[in-house]
Amino acid sequence: MIELNTISKTFNAGTPQQVRALRDINLTIADQEFVIVVGANGSGKSTLLNVIAGVAMPSSGTILLDGMDVTHWEDYRKSRWIARIFQDPFMGTASELSILDNFRLAAIRTHKKGLSIGIDSKFKTKVQERIAMLGLGLEDKLEQRMGTLSGGQRQALTLIMAVMDDAKIILLDEPSAALDPRTAALIMAKANEIIREFGLTGILITHHLKDAALYGNRILLMREGSVVHDIKADEKRKMTVGDLQNWFV
Ligand SMILES: Nc1ncnc2c1ncn2[C@@H]1O[C@H](COP(=O)(O)OP(=O)(O)OP(=O)(O)O)[C@@H](O)[C@H]1O
Ligand SMILES: [Mg+2]
């Protein structure tokens, strides 16, 4: 599903501020694989997701999605396939708009021809059904302004928005970092459920080793722009939080 061939990303090349954020990354992620990425601050985790999403352009190397060369595609061209969830629950949604209008906006953004999409009653029913999957009672509050919802509620809705448009890939950059422990656990469980239920290919960045041990079927450890450990499903199943902690010393 995702193939990175010798991907490098250097910021501020040729200046004293030069940073080699990604160094010759070779990575193949299969369809429906759920990859957890861990690593110290500044090790290149977000840059990796940004390059895959087309928010940042690689300095060298190629990126294939589903066999198609998308190396130089910008994010809007990939948004049909790739959904993103960020640390900040306020990113990715418009506070002033209602829940339903946020879903309409998201639908319009990802469909080329679709100004008519998102205004009919069929669309509303679909939104309602999907939101009901969260089990948070938000399906009855479609007219409520997004800005009046808690961070956890917004993050949960952003997850659902990601699967409205049949995205195949979901990239999550510390989606629970800004949430209280209980809500964080809920969002992680929902993310896991949604990835499984919709058969998505997922990449999740987290600093919580417990989540890394609990979720996904592969773990990458990044250090200084390189992937230094790549643990596949069989091995991952046997790994404990303690094993993961040992990587960081
Ligand atoms: N737009 C940018 N311009 C210049 N340098 C950048 C830019 N984005 C990232 N970097 C640098 O690239 C390196 C990797 O950053 P990145 O954000 O990918 O790390 P990270 O692993 O996500 O860290 P964290 O855990 O703190 O989120 C860092 O040294 C960072 O300062
Ligand atoms: Mg980051």
- Continuous segment of H or E residues that includes residue 108: helix 99-110
Once rounded to an integer, what is the mean pLDDT over residues 208-221? 95
Pairing verdict, β 2-11 and 19-29: antiparallel
Separation of CA 9 and ligand 2 centre (Å): 15
Which atom in ligand 1 lies closest to the alpha carbon of residue 222?
21
Q: Quote the Cα angle for 51-224-237, to 5°.
A: 80
Separation of CA 204 and ligand 2 centre (Å): 11
Q: Record the pTM.
A: 0.93
CATH number of the domain residue 176 falls in: 3.40.50.300
Residue 68, judged by CB atoms within 10 A of its CB (0-12, 13-18, 19+), counts as exposed
User: What pLDDT is stored for residue 52 in this prediction?
Assistant: 96
Cα 152 from Cα 150, distance rounded (Å)? 5
Which atom in ligand 1 lies closest to the alpha carbon of residue 50?
18
144 occurs within a structural domain: no
130 occurs within a structural domain: no
User: What pLDDT is stored for residue 79 in this prediction?
Assistant: 83
Once rounded to an integer, what is the mean pLDDT over residues 9-16? 96
82 occurs within a structural domain: yes
131 occurs within a structural domain: no
Residues with C-beta less than 6 Å from any ligand 1 atom = 11-12, 19, 21, 39, 41-47
Once rounded to an integer, what is the mean pLDDT over residues 167-188? 93
116 or 146, which is more confident:
146
The secondary structure of residue 90, as a DSSP letter, is T
Residue 118 has pLDDT above 60, yes or no: no
28 occurs within a structural domain: yes
Give the pLDDT confidence of 20-41 residue by residue, as tens digits.
Answer: 999 999 999 999 999 999 999 9
C-beta separation of 87 from 177 below 8 A:
yes
User: What pLDDT is stored for residue 218 in this prediction?
Assistant: 97
Once rounded to an integer, what is the mean pLDDT over residues 101-124? 75
220 occurs within a structural domain: yes
Cα 111 from Cα 65, distance rounded (Å)? 19
For ligand 1, atom 1, the nearest C-alpha belongs to: 11
208 occurs within a structural domain: yes
Separation of CA 44 and ligand 2 centre (Å): 7
User: What pLDDT is stored for residue 119 in this prediction?
Assistant: 64
Q: How large is the angle between the packed helices 99-110 and 151-164, nearest 10 degrees?
A: 40
The secondary structure of residue 94, as a DSSP letter, is -
Averaged confidence pLDDT in the chain? 92
The domain in which residue 14 lies consists of 2-93+151-247
User: What pLDDT is stored for residue 117 in this prediction?
Assistant: 58
State which of 7, 9, 47 you would mutate to test the pocket of ligand 1, scoring each by most atoms of that ligand within 8 A of its C-beta: 47
138 occurs within a structural domain: no
Number of domains, the chain:
1
**How many Cβ atoms from other residues are within 10 Å of residue 249's Cβ?**
4
> Among all chains, which residue has been given the structure tokens 């409520």?
144
Once rounded to an integer, what is the mean pLDDT over residues 117-123? 74
